[in-house]
Structures are given as structure tokens and as C-alpha cells.
Amino acid sequence: MYKALILNGPNLNLLGTRQPEVYGGTTLEMVENLCVSHGSSIGMEVSCLQSNHEGALIDAIHAAKGVQDGIVLNAGAYTHTSIALMDAIASVELPIVEVHLSNIHAREAFRNVSYISKVAVGQICGFGAQGYVLALDALSAHLKSETPA
């Protein structure tokens, strides 16, 4: 059974009440429950972590090495700024699927740039909370394609 970490960054603890017209009405707890139950339906053991702190997110990525098979990451605004997060991902050599609730390419220009994308397997954005489910499916397919039968 593959293991995946759902890692959420700054302000995502406020999901459900934070700009619901942009990010929807689903709370972080609902997103995490959805990920755990979807994970078990596709044979993945899912654990979840959220932090508002860049260093804590980096620590979580480092700690995932040798423990997790991959990460679904919504780095929030750090997506657009954090070379340190990008370097952490590159350092652990774990497959990362980048996810965003909103379509960051249809928003302000500063949100169109993602440092995470440079080291991610791929990016899913614009599908709200469902994007996490899609990201888990994508991570699962990627892991299976990498593992010889």
C-alpha cells in the first residue's frame, strides 16, 4: 500500500470561511477526510498536515523522505514565492503533485508563477476540493507507473 502526505500551507486552515467565492465552502477538515477516505478506496494510506509556517512545511517535506511514497502539496501563497520549498522538494526526490483549489492561471499575474511546478510531477488547479481527489489519483497512477509489476 502506498503512503501519501496531504500537505497544506498558509491560510488553508481557514478553508470554508476564507473567500468562499474563490476557494469554496469546504473546510480543511472536510478536505482531509475526503482524502483519507478516497485514499483508502484506491489503496493509499493518507496522512494530513497543515502549517502556516514555511519552515514547518520544509521540515514536513524532509520528514516525508523514506516514510511517504509521495506528497500532494497545496503550498498556498508560498507557491509563488518559495525557492526554499522548491529546493526541499528537489532534495527529497519524492513525487509531488501540486494542487490548488482555484485556477491560479486565471487570476492575478503574481499567481500565474509557481516555483513548485518546477519540481512537481504535475499540477491540478481550478477544481476546488475535488482537485485533491484528482491529485491522489494522479499520484497513485504515477507511483504505479514507476513500480515494475
* Smallest separation, CB 37 to ligand DQA (Å): 21
State how far the Cα of 17 lies from the Cα of 133, in Å rounded to an integer. 21
Chain-centroid distance, C-alpha 29:
15
Amino acid at 92: V
**Nearest to ligand DQA of 74, 82 (CB atom):** 74
**Nearest to ligand DQA of 17, 147 (CB atom):** 17
Provide Rg for the chain, Cα atoms. 14
Phi, psi of 27 (to 5 degrees): -80, 165
* Smallest separation, CB 110 to ligand DQA (Å): 8
State how far the Cα of 45 lies from the Cα of 23, in Å rounded to an integer. 26
* Smallest separation, CB 103 to ligand DQA (Å): 8
- Identify the burial level of 56 via C-beta atoms within 10 angstroms of its C-beta, where 0-12 means exposed, 13-18 middle and 19 or more buried: middle
Cell output for 34 = 475526503
**Nearest to ligand DQA of 79, 140 (CB atom):** 79
Which residues in this chain contact ligand DQA in the complex, by CB under 6 A?
11, 74, 76-77, 79, 100-102, 104, 111
Annotated catalytic sites, by residue? 23, 100
Beta bridge partners of 123: 98
**Nearest to ligand DQA of 45, 122 (CB atom):** 122
